[in-house]
Amino acid sequence: MRPSCVMELFLCIFLFFYVAIAEVLDWFGRADVIEKRYPKVWRFMTSRLSRMILMLFLLGLLLHDIEKHKEYQALTIIFQPPRVPSINTVSEEAPKESPDSLRRKTLKLVYDLTLFWNRRPQPPPNIQQNQTPEEHKAKYDQYWQEAQSAYQSAGFNDRILEIVRQYKSKGIETGFLEEEALQSNRYIGSEAFSGSALNDCPRYWSDVCQLRELAYHVDAQDRPIVLAYEPRK
């Protein structure tokens, strides 16, 4: 607190007690000594106007002191709550599927087989109008010579063997696909060898349908998908 504030406070206290004492002496008749010896002082003390002036002066000093103290407010200490530690959880992402995963290679093989035979529709087995038996046979033989050459060049049976054996090594049932792929004169997917369109699989389960079905028995990391029912205990 500044010295000037101390002096103002002391003066206010002194005047307060002075006025209070004067009032007490006035009420109880104890100021007769002052009245006789100091008549001027007595007149000042007994004047209500002078007392009111002193009271207003005192009130003004108190208000002035209060305003001065507002300029020097106490230091406010604010305690910030501790921060809650944040835990960064890094979710482990599933490994991306390889472009050469088993099921992708299987679906690619099915697509290539289907596209291959769709581009080579088999000629009608019966002799057409205005066609001699020799012409029909020559056209039929030519079709199969070209189809067999293209099929073998594409290496379909080797691709089928490689994929089917990978499934077998994982314990997945592959039917007769391996035995059929081992036959050099068998052309899987063709109409002559019980081939059919994929949209006809619910009605006719062909080799191509079975080959496509294998892709649903492994996950993105080539692990077998095994579904089993376990009754509740």
54 & 138 share domain: no
Residue 225 lies in a domain: no
pLDDT tens sequence across 123-156: 877 777 787 888 888 888 898 899 999 999 999 9
Q: Which domain holds residue 44?
A: 3-70
Pick the closest to residue 101 from 231, 223, 229, 228 (CA basis).
223
pLDDT tens sequence across 198-226: 777 888 888 899 999 999 999 999 999 98
Residue 222 lies in a domain: no
Residue 76 lies in a domain: no
Number of domains in the chain: 2
The whole-model pTM stands at 0.56
Distances (CA, A) of 110 to 157, 159, 172, 212, 216: 12, 11, 18, 6, 13
110 & 165 share domain: yes
198 & 109 share domain: yes
Tokens 């028995």, located at residue: 217
